[in-house]
Chain A
Amino acid sequence: MTECSLLGCGQDEDQYYSIQDYEGGIPRWCPGCGDLAVLTAVEKLLEAEQLAPEKTVFVSGIGCSSRFPHYLKTYGFHGLHGRALPVATGVKLRRPDLHVFAVMGDGDCCSIGAAHWIHTTRYNTNIVALLLDNGVYGLTKNQTSPTSPEGYPSNTQPRGAVLRPMNPIATTLGVTNASFVAQTGDWIPDHLYETISAGFRHKGFAFIRILQRCPQYTTPLFDEAVRNPDLVEFMVHPNGIPMNGLEQIYKHQIPHDPSDLDNGRRLAEPDGRFRLGLFYHNDSIPCLEEVRQQPLRTAEEKIELLNAELDRYAV
């Protein structure tokens, strides 16, 4: 582990952190924005897991959702559009002792940052990746995103989105080393919390797509599903996301063992209802930072080793 080389770590083991200890600036999202629900769930998780705020890092890209780190009192990195995952990978590669979360929007993750999404899935870096998917570019005022429904009129495609939306779950499930792929909705707070919590406890790259309401632009996207539980279907399994009584409200349930990748891929294809739960989970895939971890050396050891290398180049 890296800890031994880090000065001053391991202090204050007894401190208890309350929700307030994790609260940062006052959110400036629109009233009714799904981002607020995600923030609440995350704060609840931080408290439940008692993560030291100084050992927790939220990395984000650019977009409404990427303001996320500003509203927490942890370390945060609000970087470039589409590039949250490389930064998060860099943090985790050299500091595996830190808890790293990446928060992205659908434009961020699935469009401009698509290469990083695919490859970080394959790296299986131990990061919780939250895709806050509202199917639209909100911050820049209503442009079509890769997940906008076909026909959705935006400022860039005023006569309706011309292509079918991409399927982030199916895409992730197609990538080598995908190890945790789940979907939840911002309007079901308990499931949202349990999904993020399961993702946090997963060792590896936890990809969580959060279907998320945008009160400004894509309200119709999930409005009906919010009002009508019949439009939602949960995948259920003892190893899946706990339902905690939600089964009373949501009648449509389908059993799915999250270790069954083939079935997970089948279920990722849309069939009329929003399907929530854990599509795939595999804890046995090594993480990049484990695969690449090398024993750290002191300066003196490095000098000795480097001198031995230089001997080979001696004149």
Chain B
Amino acid sequence: MTATTPASETEALPDKGAKKRDIEIIRVKDYTTEVVTDSGEGAQKCSQIFASVSAKSGNGVWSVEIIPAEIQPPARTPASASGNRIRIATEAVTNWGDSANLVMAFNEQVLLARHRMDALAEDAVILIEDMWKNHDDPDIRKEWEEAMEEMSHRSYQFVLVPMEEECLKIVENPRKGKNMFALGILAWIYSRDLAKIREIIAELFKRKSKEIYDNNVALLDLGYKWADENLDFKIDIPTIESEVPRVVMNGNQAIGFGAIAAGMELCSMYPITPATSASHHLGDIIEKFGGIVHQAEDEIAAVGVAIGASFAGKVAFTITSGPGLALKTEFIGLAIMTEMPLVVVDVQRGGPATGLPTKVEQGDLLASIFGQPGDAPHVVFAPATMEECFLCMTTARRIAEAFRCVVMVLTDANLATGQQPFPRPDLKSEWMAAPPDLMAVPEGTLPYDWDSQLGLSQRVIPGQPGGMHVVTGLSHDENSKIGYSPEVHERGCQMRARKMAVFQQTLKRPEVHGDDSGDLLVVGWGSTWGAIEEAVDRARDDGLKVSSLQLRFLSPLEPGLKDIFSKFKKVMTVEISYSDDPNDPFITDENRRRGQLSWLLRAQTLVDVDCWTRVPGQPLRPMNILQAIRDHMPNGVKK
């Protein structure tokens, strides 16, 4: 709580008992809401608060941002659609679901964008700003009519809301404020606690003036009151009392908190979407913990500074996205060659090049594993949930230090901006990095005193008497002396590779979701976990013999895959990366470009792993995966 929160609740709230209308209570276990506005109208804030208060009310939640690439694209165009999808359920939610059941739209053009994406349920309830329908400008009225015509084949249920008219009662420019009015309406529909919402608003606006807070709360209350007087339905999504305390946050916040919980005191970064919000979050709090966010002059310097800190005994991390990862490639190779512990977080977006800056893709998998010239063994793994984003940073630091290696953590835009509640981590001091040990080592201690069997060696850091040495990116022996002989280079390569084999031996065999044998095994990685398992569960309910496997460790791969695969007639990856459709022109089995995980699994297991992949710039929907499962069943499936 902050000082700006009002001490008492003096606003007169509508008296629910005074209603004359019949209110229909729609009780559902799983319901998806979208808020969609012109960019800059505050849909994100409205949605974040709604998602957060829904989680705090005890519901399962998964939210996903719908973000245009520009800050202010032309208003009232489909390209301007900015917003958020919030899936709310009785039980835990693991993905954004199929279609939106209720939409709050600030104009018909942004709604049209969602309609064209086929994002809305057949019978979706649509609350829409009514000012455009009878607008003074005939062009706008025409656009409205055409949009309605285009959507008329669906059974959408429209509710016209006089947003502008109502908001003008409180603010001069409703463009800044409609979002809170909308939030008030949502709060009424979903029976959310206004006091909790006010708390969240106070937190979000803690750096703004009291007047701004007051206006926002007045608009919130106005929306609530309008809904109470005018709407005739409410949505009730029952909650299940959680047995454990929970927190709700997005994946980037979780990464930031996780880094602090891991005891890392330096995040060295350069701004890049969608990774940057993690640095915003960290920048806000890390100094309290004795750490800093260093915004370097470029992506290369960002990783260089992290490596320097790590060399000096303070393991640091750098966070980036695809284009930044490409720039960091040489330095990452150097960290591998010098066996410098380093954590690199890649919040993936669509690629190649600048690609889709704000949108999700899993296209960095192979680049992250094989990006460096030469043989550059390192660890690559991918969290699948917000909770894993939090916990993985400790894992990453520990692996990096224990194995003197680079650990890459692959998340994506889906995890980065989506919110999900999860059990509150029970913080432990042993998660934290120990202070650098500067005790003297015997004169002549080798900087790479490799155990021939394990490839592991003890690290010596500056400040330790007796251990002076020069690390080098050149081929070197155990004394870090430059050597170009076949023996030196081959031994170094062998030792750096060997420790990764040792690391792989510490991994657990992954668990199959569903039966251990069957017709089809779907394999995914990272943030697609929830959508894949939901689709598999539905397919299994339909009697299909399908199971799934979600990989966390991509390099080295988790053990037992070949054996697991052998129990299924067919194995297929589901990925958000590009692959050729086998039915496309010129595509043959020889030249087909496959999903990145399927390349990897085929190479490593010699199993003929098929793939179904899409690059829509959005998370996958369970219903699309379900259809892909049906289409790819080895024996064929009747629809």
Contacts and interface: CB of A to CB of B under 8 A. Distances in A.
Interface string B45-61: 00000000001101000
Nearest to B476: A78
Given A93-B292, A95-B462, A86 B301 contact: yes
Contacts of A89: 301, 304-305, 308
B437 interface: yes
A313 B248 CA distance: 6
Contacts of B482: 70
By size class, the interface of chain B is 35 or more
Given A25-B481, A86-B305, A302 B462 contact: no
By size class, the interface of chain A is 35 or more
Interface in A292-314: 292, 294-297, 299-300, 302-303, 305-307, 309-310, 312-314
Contacts of B257: 306, 309-310
B491 interface: no
Interface stretch (B121-129, B464-472, B539-547): B464-472
A83 B331 contact: yes
Interface in A44-90: 52-55, 57-59, 62, 69-70, 72-80, 83, 85-90
Nearest to B284: A309
Q: In this complex, which of B297, B313, B435, B464 has the most chain A Cβ atoms within 10 angstroms of its Cβ?
A: B297
Q: In this complex, which of B245, B248, B290, B427 has the most chain A Cβ atoms within 10 angstroms of its Cβ?
A: B290
A196 B432 CA distance: 40
A90 B289 contact: no
A91 interface: yes
A70 B447 CA distance: 14
A25 to B, nearest CB: 7
Interface string A26-54: 00000000000000000000000000111
B285 A309 contact: yes
Contacts of B56: 314-315
B498 interface: no
Given A95-B312, A95-B314, A297-B290, A302 B297 contact: no
Q: In this complex, which of B312, B438, B464 has the most chain A Cβ atoms within 10 angstroms of its Cβ?
A: B312
A86 B304 contact: yes
Contacts of A83: 300-301, 304, 331
Contacts of B249: 313
B247 A87 contact: no
A21 B450 CA distance: 26
B265 interface: yes
B316 A90 contact: yes
Contacts of A24: 470
A7 B441 CA distance: 13
B561 interface: no
Contacts of A252: none
Given A55-B463, A79-B473, A94-B314, A303 B427 contact: yes
B287 interface: yes
A300 B429 contact: yes
Given A90-B312, A313-B247, A95 B463 contact: yes
Interface of B: 55-56, 58, 203, 242, 245-249, 253, 257, 260-261, 263, 265-266, 268, 285, 287-292, 294, 296-298, 300-314, 316, 330-331, 334, 338, 421, 424-425, 427-429, 432, 435-440, 462-474, 481-482
Interface of A: 5-9, 11-12, 24-25, 52-55, 57-59, 62, 69-70, 72-80, 83, 85-95, 97-98, 115-116, 118-119, 292, 294-297, 299-300, 302-303, 305-307, 309-310, 312-315
